[in-house]
């Protein structure tokens, strides 16, 4: 039997993964808020920030797809979210005219 303490176990990995998830959410939504502020308050183009948010989603989707962990439910939820975002964008464009 070894006397060295266990440095990493499943609980540690799960906690690290949860912290990475929270960090990703904070960064993504922070970039979205910053993009909205630039667009509506300062009337500036903020495509660079929006591209970072989209790229973050594309990277995670590609990684998970390459590991074959995406489900049909995920695909339906993603399609619904994209459709909702498209409708919301059209409403915003029509409201600004």
> Lowest-confidence range among 4-8, 26-30, 51-55, 87-91?
4-8
Rounded to whole angstroms, how far apart are CA atoms 75 and 68? 13
pLDDT digit string, tens, across residues 73-84: 999 999 999 999
Q: What gap in Å lies between CA 92 and CA 18, rounded to an integer?
A: 34
Q: pTM surpassing 0.75?
A: no
- The 3-class SS string of 18-70 reads HHHHHHHHHHHHHHHHHHHHHHHCCCCCCHHHHHHHHHHHHHHHHHHHHCCCC
14-31 tens-digit pLDDT = 999 999 999 999 999 999
> How confident is the model at residue 27, as a pLDDT?
93
C-alpha Rg value of the chain to the nearest Å:
19
Count the Cβ atoms, other than its own, within 10 Å of residue 35: 20
């Amino acid at each position: 039997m070894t006397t060295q303490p266990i440095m990493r176990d499943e609980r540690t990995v799960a906690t690290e993964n949860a912290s990475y998830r929270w960090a990703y959410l904070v960064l993504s939504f922070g970039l979205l808020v910053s993009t909205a502020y630039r667009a509506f308050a300062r009337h500036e183009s903020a495509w660079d920030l929006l591209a970072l948010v989209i790229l973050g989603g594309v990277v995670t989707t590609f990684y998970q797809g390459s590991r074959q962990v995406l489900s049909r439910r995920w695909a339906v939820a993603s399609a619904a979210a994209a459709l909702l975002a498209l409708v919301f964008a059209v409403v915003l464009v029509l409201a600004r005219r």
